[in-house]
Amino acid sequence: MSKLTEKILVLDFGGQYNQLIARRVRDNNVFAEIKPYTTPIEEIKKENYKGIIFTGGPNSVYDMSSPHYDKEILELGVPVLGICYGCQLICYMKGGRVETAVTSEYGKIDVKVDKKDSLLFKNIPDSVVWMSHTDYISEPPAGFEITSHSADCPCASMENADDKLYAVQFHPEVTHTEYGNELLKNFIFNICGCTGEWKMEGFIEKTVEALRAQIGDKKVVLGLSGGVDSSVAAALLSKAVGSQLTCVFVDQGLMRKDEGDFVENTFTRLFDMKFVRVNCGDEFISRLKGFTEPEDKRKIIGTEFYKVFWNKVREEADGGFFAQGTIYPDCIESGKGDADKIKTHHNKVKMPEDIKFDGIIEPLSNLFKDEVRRVGELLGIPKELVWRQPFPGPGLGVRIIGEITKEKIRVLQEADAVFRDEIKKSGIENELSQYFAVLPDIRTVGVMGDHRTYDHLIAIRAVTTDDFMTADFARIPYDVLARVSSRIINEVDNVNRVVYDITSKPPGTVEWE
Ligand code: XMP
């Protein structure tokens, strides 16, 4: 990272789109990093940022508990762009006036550009933007010019070009803002003077070089789950140090049909490394015997998984380094506290103290998910893995309601494989964010030929979402649903009924447990 000369700081005031702003900047090949508004100014000064973006936030600038920042940041000579709350904050910090509007502006709003020669609005005509605010700028600070307005907002944007301070009341980072990307490009290239040096090809080259220098002739152990992040980390490390890398893959028997074999084949065939697979499905089933409560099951699966995993790592550890597929969103310290946890997730667990490594390596810790995928593609990882939909740590364990048995795992794996196959064939795969089968703990009566049946019910779930915090059930065409239903009942033994889950999140969650 130290070799990067171009960096934009996204200073987070608690807005909901902070990561999106950084991703949009990076989409334009300029590195952006997010830091909370509590970051000391001295730390910011050291970094030589080419530009700074103040994010939105849920507060009013006159509220004393609202996030504020040292005024010096506007005097560093580094261009600043304030967005929404960030726009009002610049106004407030520079002595302008912010008021609460009678009518809030929310949604798609037409704005008219007033300052045609503004660098920020270069090649941007009157157009639609995305607004979400109640407070507004009633009087820009001295030295600032209004650059655009809307019917209800006399100052939709303002600037003091001499001091390189720019502010927009709307959200250029969301796609509803017609020329949002052009505006961000104007800021990062025309105003901040960036050239666009953040490219994944360059990232791979520099990272491989840095990993080689750091690792030398030592060993590296990586926990491979078969998910996107750990897979890409494995491929990157393999490129850097080949067989000095050992990947530990714990197959707890709760993966999708044939998935364990697919992961093993992929990594042993395509990449130079030592691949250690631990098959412990039977042990997991015996540990889970008799447990039906979702949280109990999650905890047992998590605890068992890490017990098996660390035991294997302990065997493989021989000094050297421990690597993980941590990505940037796992590391961002946000401008607001963590949202309440609804379910126990077991993604981050501490290493037992008796296991000793020389250091931890997290080669993807600066990348967003879409960048990780790009790196994965460039490294030649198969599309099925790089574009794999999210899969929960506890695997099918949270999709089998009630007690988990070998027979239930078989039924669910088969049904899920049929569902996925039909979605693939129907050509709607890319429209769905996640789709899978669930095995509820009930049996229902049916009729097959002349016989009464009393068998399992399969529920299928498919959702569309941007962030998995909220989701909607996917409107899968009826004929696709019909094919899925008939194939599951015909091809999977002991299933006689299929239902489709039409619950959005909230009130439902994506997974059933
Ligand atoms: P929920 O069910 O909370 O799921 O709406 C949101 C997203 O998170 C995934 N999920 C998990 N991922 N460990 C994970 O790594 C877990 O324990 C876990 N539980 C849910 C879920 O598949 C969905 O994509």
Question: Do 73 and 38 share a structural domain?
Answer: yes
Q: What average pLDDT does the segment 296-320 reach? A: 95
Candidate from 3-7, 46-50, 363-367 with smallest mean pLDDT: 3-7
pLDDT by residue (tens digit) across 15-43?
888 999 999 999 999 999 999 999 999 99
Candidate from 27-31, 333-337, 406-410, 462-466 with smallest mean pLDDT: 333-337
Question: Do 415 and 337 share a structural domain?
Answer: no
- 505 CB within 6 A, ligand 1: yes
Structural domain contains residue 465 = yes
Question: Do 261 and 117 share a structural domain?
Answer: no
Question: Which tokens is 443 given?
Answer: 């049996």
Tell me the one-letter amino acid at 511. E
pLDDT band at 5 (very low <50, low <70, confident <90, very high): confident
Note the pLDDT of residue 350. 83
User: Which string of DSSP letters, residue by residue, matches 12-57?
Assistant: ESS-TTHHHHHHHHHHTT-EEEEEETTS-HHHHHHTT-SEEEE---
CATH number at residue 152: 3.40.50.880
Q: What single-letter DSSP state applies at residue 505? A: B
CATH number at residue 348: 3.40.50.620
Question: Do 172 and 281 share a structural domain?
Answer: no
* Structural domain harbouring 313: 200-386
The residues that bridge with 364 in the sheet, in sequence order, are none
Share of the chain above pLDDT 70, in %: 96
Evaluate if residue 201 carries a pLDDT over 70: yes
Structural domain contains residue 147 = yes
Tokens 């078969």 locate to 226
Atom of ligand 1 nearest to the CA of 398: 19
Question: Do 218 and 186 share a structural domain?
Answer: no
Domains in the chain, number: 3
Q: What single-letter DSSP state applies at residue 203? A: H
Share of the chain above pLDDT 90, in %: 90
pLDDT band at 137 (very low <50, low <70, confident <90, very high): very high
Q: Categorise residue 290: left if φ over 0, alpha if ψ from -120 to 50, beta otherwise.
A: left
Structural domain contains residue 446 = yes
Structural domain contains residue 2 = no
Residue 336 in contact with residue 246, Cβ under 8 Å?
A: no
Q: Which of 345, 391, 398, 436 to mutate to test the pocket of ligand 1 (most atoms within 8 A of CB)?
A: 345
Domain end marker among 172, 191, 210: 191
Question: Do 61 and 113 share a structural domain?
Answer: yes
Structural domain contains residue 398 = no
Burial of residue 387 (number of CB atoms within 10 Å: 0-12, 13-18, 19+): middle
Note the pLDDT of residue 332. 87
Structural domain contains residue 396 = no
Question: Do 112 and 216 share a structural domain?
Answer: no
Q: Count of CB atoms within 10 A of residue 377's CB?
A: 15
Question: Do 360 and 239 share a structural domain?
Answer: yes
Note the pLDDT of residue 58. 83
pLDDT by residue (tens digit) across 367-383?
999 999 999 999 999 99
Instruction: Give, using CA atoms, the residue closest to atom 8 of ligand 1.
Output: 392
Q: Against a cut of 0.85, is the pTM above it?
A: yes
Instruction: Tell me how far the alpha carbon of residue 35 lies from the centroid of ligand 1, in angstroms.
Output: 26
φ, ψ of residue 492 in degrees (nearest 5): -105, 115
Question: Do 209 and 183 share a structural domain?
Answer: no
Question: Which tokens is 100 given?
Answer: 């609460």
Which helix or strand (DSSP H or E) is residue 418 part of?
helix 406-426
Evaluate if residue 476 carries a pLDDT over 60: yes
Structural domain contains residue 149 = yes
Question: Do 443 and 320 share a structural domain?
Answer: no
Distance CA 384, CA 237 (A): 20
Instruction: Give, using CA atoms, the residue closest to atom 4 of ligand 1.
Output: 510
Question: Do 420 and 349 share a structural domain?
Answer: no
Note the pLDDT of residue 3. 62
Distance CA 197, CA 28 (A): 9
Q: Are strands 495-500 and 220-223 parallel, antiparallel or unpaired?
A: unpaired
Domain end marker among 337, 359, 386: 386
Note the pLDDT of residue 72. 97
Domain end marker among 334, 355, 386: 386
pLDDT by residue (tens digit) across 324-346?
999 999 998 766 644 444 555 44
pLDDT by residue (tens digit) across 149-163?
999 999 999 999 999
pLDDT band at 213 (very low <50, low <70, confident <90, very high): very high
pLDDT band at 288 (very low <50, low <70, confident <90, very high): very high
Q: What average pLDDT does the segment 97-118 reach? A: 94
Structural domain contains residue 400 = no
- 127 CB within 6 A, ligand 1: no
Question: Do 159 and 209 share a structural domain?
Answer: no
Q: Are strands 443-448 and 472-473 parallel, antiparallel or unpaired?
A: unpaired
Is omega for the bond preceding 363 within 30 degrees of 0, making it cis? no
CATH number at residue 467: 3.30.300.10
Evaluate if residue 204 carries a pLDDT over 80: yes
